[in-house]
Structure 1
Amino acid sequence: MTTIFIAGSITIKKLDTLVIERIKKIVDKKLNVIVGDANGVDSSVQKELLQMGCDTTIVYSSSSKPRNNLGSWPVNIVKTNHPYGTRAFYTAKDIQMAEDADCGLMIWDSKSTGTLSNVIELLSRNKSSVVFINKVKEFLIVKSVDDFHLLINYMSELDLEKADGKIKFQKKIDELKNQQITLI
């Protein structure tokens, strides 16, 4: 059965109706959903899944006790040696979700480096993402490096520089591009 990795920006507290409709389609098809335990999009998605009665949800957490598990769903605790509370500590669960998922649904504020990382993690595994760009209320399908470049066009120059400084996404994208060229 198909597994969808749903995640997004911690700054987004309320899901757009277009995102809720997309989640409803996922639930109606009884697809597996994996979601993190953070505030923001993670907890907002959990709230919608609970209201929709989704019983195919698994919450992923890097902590032994998830920060949020609104539906008391099964929890996949991802072991990590990174210090508690660091970016690497929380990223461990995201990497595992990218590994376990077939594709992703990302809800993005046009700044979040965590969401960009998730898209890159999925791309590096030849998996696609549907990214909802919150500020323009549009979905963008990211299946390739070229699609990723379309996505980052929604970022301001300053946010782009900050993101590259934090997660070195340009280096990762260049590596993916080189892999794609080698395959051709």
Structure 2
Amino acid sequence: MHKVFISGSISIDNLDAKVIERIGNIVESNYQVLIGDAGGVDSAIQKHLLSRQTNNVVVYCAGEEPRNNLGNWIVERISTFAKPGSRAFFTSKDLKMAEVCDYGLMIWDTKSTGTLANILELLKQSKYSLVFINKKKTFKAIKNVEDFQNLLEIMSESSLKKAEEKLKLNIEIDRLKFVQSEMF
């Protein structure tokens, strides 16, 4: 069974019709949905899946109990030694979802470094992600480092600077380019 890691920006509370249609395709294809327990996109996706009476869902959380599990779905608790409430604490669940999924569907506000980190993590694992750029109301497939670099061009200068500081994008891009060159 295919597993789709769905994630997105905390700033996005409402799902665009194009995202809802894509989720419908995922559900109708009987793919398993892997979703986090955060607010924003995670909660909006959970609300939508609940309204569809979807059962093929696993909610990932760091620590003992999910912050949100609207459908009382199966919970995958990720153990971490990171300080509770820290970025590393919550990132642990995202790393696990990226590891076990086949594909990613990301809903991005062009600012969120968390969503960008998930896209990058999938790319590091040679997995594709489909990114819905909320401001442009369009999808962009991220299959290689060039696609990722093109995605970064959408960001404002200040958001890109913040992402570089948090994620060390230039280093990560150079690593991905090296890995791709080794493949060919």
Q: TM-score, normalised by structure 2?
A: 0.99
2:80 maps to: 80
Partner of 2:20: 20
Alignment correspondent of 1:6: 6
The answer to whether the 8 Å contact 1:8/1:115 transfers is yes
Q: What number of residue pairs does the alignment pair up?
A: 184
> Residues 117 and 169 of structure 1 are in contact (CA less than 8 Å); yes or no, is this contact kept in structure 2?
no
Deviations 1:18-62 (A, max 9, x none): 101100111111110000000000000000011111111000000
**Shift of residue 63, structure 1, vs aligned partner:** 2.1
Identity across the alignment (%): 51
Partner of 2:59: 59
Superposition deviation, residue 182 in structure 1: 1.3
* In 2, Cα distance between equivalents of 1:16 and 1:123: 25
Q: Residue 134 of structure 1 aligns with which residue?
A: 134
> What CA distance in whole angstroms lies between the structure 2 residues aligned with 1:141 and 1:174?
20
Which residue does the alignment assign to 2:94?
Answer: 94
CA shift, 1:170, in A, is: 2.1
Show structure 1 runs of 4+ deviating over 2 A. none
The unaligned stretches of length 5 or more in structure 2 are: none
Q: Deviations over 1:127-158 (max 9, x none)?
A: 00000000000000000000001111110111
Q: Secondary structure at the match of 2:85?
A: coil
Q: How does 1:34-73 map to 2 (within 5 A)?
A: 34-73=34-73
Shift of 1:166: 1.2
Show structure 1 runs of 5+ residues with no match.
none
The alignment's C-alpha RMSD in Å is 0.6
Measured in 2, the distance between the counterparts of 1:22 and 1:135 equals: 17
Show the counterpart of 1:120.
Answer: 120
Asked if 1:154 is matched to 2:163, the reply is no
SS at match of 1:117: helix
Match of 2:29 in 1: 29
Q: Partner amino acid for 2:16?
A: D
In structure 2, how many angstroms separate the alpha carbons of the residues matched to 1:169 and 1:9?
Answer: 18
Q: Give 1:169 shift.
A: 2.1
What's the offset of the Cα at 1:171? 1.1
Q: Which AA in structure 1 matches 2:111?
A: K
- Work out the CA distance in 1 between the residues paired with 2:169 and 2:51: 36
CA distance in 2, matches of 1:39, 1:8: 10
SS at match of 1:85: coil
Corresponding letter in the other structure for 1:66:
P
